[in-house]
């Protein structure tokens, strides 16, 4: 198939793909990927562990159902996870079997669309990610493109028009059985606490195939932006357009609004704005960072989330030893630093102080002393070096070492 991709197919369309979806090797790889991501069970209650006990038999059954056309997608189980400001994000959790089939189909059709996607799109794509998108933004700002259209598509995954999406897929895929699978997943019922309903629009967040479908739907948008000559960095439904002047930024926003309106989408009114990011107060947030006045900092929401995670791991009454707490903290601290290492050093110093205060509070509790560990005596008794000696990952030290390595 990859060789055919290089040569192209007649008329630019793929007419026979379903056999590649139900190929035993494809299903086996799909199962391995699903198992590695874990996740909860769907409406049938089957867990990863349940499926794994008889994986070969289940995969053979899936192969047969796909081969004969008897496969039917099950409903998705809706769960809601909290967002900021008391809001909730709805996720649709497919069954393990449906996740495997979706992953198998994704393995087959993703290369077809990847060959067409533009470089300005970074979200949910192979060998591309947040760090690549952030690097492109930084380079654009350094080149002087400092008037920024900062935009977010409101309720994007819930707003995708099924017919329009399928029409775009049909431009490259004519295998009716593959298209039938996609229709099943788009129209799958949603099981929630209050009953069941069938979506008329949208693709469920939580489905393996949804990010790819979301990128397919916005590919025409990327092409339009490219034709106008704007410099855009898009990560799924979150994007920035980096311009030379205010007039160019305003024109770009008008073009974006017109395209969105014509395709049944809307920009989030409170998350879309134009600003000169060189000016204090006119910066923008993107993928966890804040770009403003020549600096890249950690945005407030990301800082709050980080502190909440630290608090969860440093409860005074948790009953753990200091070493156990440090050992549990360190992997999270390293991962967080690896993503945010380009932020300003004062952020890391402040967070190091916050973490040590939490740890001193634990030590006070162990010593049966009241208070939260912020007195001068506590600093003398449990100095910064005390925690370094016990292996605590220090963000500001890691930042200094990172800067040294860049200068070599």
Q: Are residue 310 and residue 403 in the same domain, yes or no?
A: yes
Query: How many other C-beta atoms can be found within 10 angstroms of the C-beta atom of residue 202?
Result: 20
153 assigned to some structural domain: no
- Residue 5 has a pLDDT of 53
3-state secondary structure of 80: strand
150 assigned to some structural domain: no
Q: Which of 236, 267, 292 is the last residue in one of the domains?
A: 292
Q: Are residue 280 and residue 308 in the same domain, yes or no?
A: no
- Residue 193 has a pLDDT of 47
Q: Are residue 235 and residue 359 in the same domain, yes or no?
A: no
C-alpha separations of 134 from 253, 316, 402, 407 in Å: 21, 37, 18, 21
pLDDT tens for the chain, 408 residues: list them. Answer: 555 555 556 667 899 999 999 999 999 999 999 999 988 899 999 999 999 999 999 999 999 999 999 999 998 888 877 776 667 777 889 999 999 999 999 999 999 999 999 999 999 999 999 999 999 999 999 999 999 999 999 999 999 999 999 999 999 999 999 999 999 999 886 655 444 546 668 888 888 999 999 999 999 999 999 999 999 999 999 999 999 999 999 999 999 999 999 999 999 998 899 999 999 999 999 999 999 999 999 999 999 999 999 999 999 888 899 999 999 999 999 999 999 999 999 999 999 999 999 999 999 988 888 766 678 888 889 999 999 999 999 999 999 999 887 766
Q: What is the DSSP letter of 119?
A: T
222 assigned to some structural domain: yes
141 assigned to some structural domain: no
128 assigned to some structural domain: no
Q: Are residue 250 and residue 307 in the same domain, yes or no?
A: no
- State how many domains the chain has: 3
Q: Are residue 184 and residue 323 in the same domain, yes or no?
A: no
Q: Which of 200, 228, 259 is the last residue in one of the domains?
A: 200
- Residue 51 has a pLDDT of 97
Q: Are residue 57 and residue 176 in the same domain, yes or no?
A: yes
Q: Are residue 227 and residue 274 in the same domain, yes or no?
A: yes
Q: Are residue 242 and residue 173 in the same domain, yes or no?
A: no
Q: How far apart are CA 267 and CA 259, in angstroms?
A: 10
- Residue 318 has a pLDDT of 81
Q: Are residue 232 and residue 325 in the same domain, yes or no?
A: no
Answer yes or no: pTM beyond 0.95.
no
Q: How far apart are CA 165 and CA 202, in angstroms?
A: 10
Q: Are residue 305 and residue 284 in the same domain, yes or no?
A: no
Q: Are residue 257 and residue 287 in the same domain, yes or no?
A: yes
In sign, the C-alpha dihedral spanning 152, 156, 161, 165 is positive
Domain that holds residue 365: 299-407
208 assigned to some structural domain: no
- Residue 192 has a pLDDT of 56
Q: What is the DSSP letter of 293?
A: T
Place of tokens 């990927």: 33
What 196-202 contacts at long range (C-beta under 8 Å, 24+ apart), as own/partner pairs, is: 196/75, 200/162, 201/158, 201/159, 201/160, 201/161, 201/162, 201/264, 202/157, 202/158, 202/159, 202/160
What order of strands is seen across the sheet that includes strand 295-298? 284-286, 289-292, 295-298
**Do 373 and 364 contact (CB within 8 A), yes or no?**
yes
241 assigned to some structural domain: yes
66 assigned to some structural domain: yes
Q: Are residue 95 and residue 42 in the same domain, yes or no?
A: yes
Q: Which of 242, 264, 292 is the last residue in one of the domains?
A: 292
**The pair of three-digit structure tokens given for residue 298, joined into one six-digit string:** 């950690």
């Amino acid at each position: 198939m990859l060789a055919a991709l290089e040569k192209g197919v007649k008329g630019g369309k793929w007419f026979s793909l379903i056999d590649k979806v139900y190929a035993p090797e494809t299903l086996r790889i799909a199962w391995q990927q699903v198992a590695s991501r874990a996740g909860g069970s769907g409406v049938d209650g089957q867990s990863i562990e349940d499926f794994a006990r008889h994986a070969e038999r289940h995969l053979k059954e899936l192969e047969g159902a796909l081969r004969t056309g008897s496969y039917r997608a099950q409903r998705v189980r809706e769960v809601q996870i909290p967002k900021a400001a008391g809001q909730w994000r709805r996720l649709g959790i497919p069954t393990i079997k449906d996740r495997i089939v979706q992953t198998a189909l994704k393995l087959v059709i993703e290369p077809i669309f990847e060959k067409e996607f533009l470089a300005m799109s970074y979200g949910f794509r192979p060998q591309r990610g947040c760090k690549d998108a952030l690097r492109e933004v930084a380079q654009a700002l350094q080149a002087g493109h400092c008037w920024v259209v900062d935009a977010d598509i409101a309720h994007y995954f819930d707003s995708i028009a099924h017919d329009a999406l399928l029409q775009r897929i049909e431009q490259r895929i004519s295998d009716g059985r593959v298209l039938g699978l996609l229709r099943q997943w788009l129209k799958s019922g949603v099981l929630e606490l209050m009953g069941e309903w069938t979506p008329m629009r949208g693709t469920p967040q939580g489905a393996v195939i949804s990010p790819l479908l979301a990128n397919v739907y916005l590919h025409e948008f990327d092409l339009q932006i490219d034709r106008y000559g704007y410099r855009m960095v898009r990560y799924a439904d979150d994007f920035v357009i980096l311009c030379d002047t205010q007039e160019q930024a305003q024109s770009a926003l008008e073009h974006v609004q017109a395209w969105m309106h014509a395709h049944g989408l809307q920009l989030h009114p409170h998350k879309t704005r134009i600003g000169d990011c060189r000016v204090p107060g006119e910066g923008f947030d993107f993928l966890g960072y804040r770009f403003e006045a020549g600096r890249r900092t950690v945005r407030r929401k990301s800082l709050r989330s980080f502190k909440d995670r630290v608090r969860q791991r440093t409860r005074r009454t948790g009953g753990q030893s200091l070493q156990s707490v440090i050992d549990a903290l360190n992997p999270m601290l390293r991962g967080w630093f690896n993503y945010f290492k380009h932020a300003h050093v004062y952020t890391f110093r402040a967070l190091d102080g916050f973490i040590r205060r939490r740890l001193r509070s634990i030590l006070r509790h162990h010593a049966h002393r009241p208070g939260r560990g912020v007195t001068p005596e506590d600093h003398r008794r449990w100095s910064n070096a005390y925690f370094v000696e016990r292996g605590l990952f220090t963000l500001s030290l890691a930042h200094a070492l990172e800067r040294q390595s860049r200068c070599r």
